[in-house]
Structure 1
Amino acid sequence: MGGAVMIRGFAYWPGLLDGAAQAAMVGDLRAVVAAAPLLSPVTPGGRAMSVRMTAAGRAGWITDRRGYRYEPRHPSGRDWPPIPASVLAVWRQVTGLARDPDCCLVNFYGEGAKMGLHQDKDEGDFSFPVVSISLGDEALFRMGGVERKDGTESVWLRSGDVVVMGGAARLAWHGIDRLRFGSSRLLAGGGRINLTLRVVDEGVISPSTS
């Protein structure tokens, strides 16, 4: 296994996780979803998103009519489950940081799901990277710059690939244009799981449910 390939400031680690590691991580994520069931989110404007999501860690990212924010609890009122050790090990490997992430956002992409170009900018401290782990079906990942008008470049992310968005790419626009549904046998029934690991400043976690 080689090192990262740099694309527009994004550090792309193709095939970082082998098949056994991917399967083990999916098993760990089943426990996360059992404790914090997947949600069908809507944007503040009321538009239904095509992904379903949940989270693990000290805080979870939420979107609904009230806005984009980090909450200390699942909407059910239960604490988010801890981030699995298998996921934390990837963060430590690709970042070299002693500081662990506060949030592991879990997005599930079913057939036809996608994610429009966006920036990850609700965390409060942009000195830490965002780490993205892909499991399951291949997805076309589009990478831009820090300005919405900047040009983009795309790469097909496969199961076991990892992307690190740090430095100049920390606030870069990025998104998922489409899936090759059924391209992986990792998930029964097809689909893709994307994990994004973030450090979240204490001051941006909503106190409303704490």
Structure 2
Amino acid sequence: MTTTIAGIAIPDSTMARAATELVRDTEDDLLYNHSRRVFLWGALTAARRGIGYDPELLYIGAMFHDMGLTQAHASKDLRFEVDGANAARDFLTGYGLPERDIDDVWASIALHTTPGIPEHMRPTVALVTAGVEMDVLGIAYHDFTADQRDHVCAHHPREHDFKHGIIDHFAQGTIGKPLTTFGNVKADVLALKDPSYQRLNFCSIILGSAWPD
């Protein structure tokens, strides 16, 4: 039976069910519930703005967007967003999707912490970021009704002190590869959580390069 939350049907295809099972078995409750909320906020954003989108692609993008924070899918040297995007691509290759759809899911995950760009891209990419920004940063919070917020959170609660918990997850997923935070928002996470972290400076890198002028 299809589950409907805040008027949004959760995709229930073979592919979607397999994704749900994989993510549920890989992520803890905080990340799993966060990922489901990201899908719902993204879908509700699409409904409010009249944006056409593919629910399955949005669902896969949302469900895999933090898989790079898990030990099972974390690399030693890539940004966690890219690790999650690669995990989604590997998952999708067995389902015969067009390459453009797989690329959209990959980009939706790889770019979800890069504000100012995804919103100008195709719906899967734009809506995953919109869902993340709502759930983590509270962007557009008041554009959702109280009933929508309550219904989503009743099914997928913001528990375990979510604000601090998600920051801790970001820190745990990046503290072992600090160079991957250069130029992105996770630098702020390590600056807060790792006393030994030294932030790279873009201008210093330019001025200190091997170029003579």
The normalised TM-score by structure 2 is 0.28
More strand by share: 1
More helix by share: 2
Q: Answer 1 or 2: higher relative contact order, Cα 8 Å, separation at least 6.
A: 1
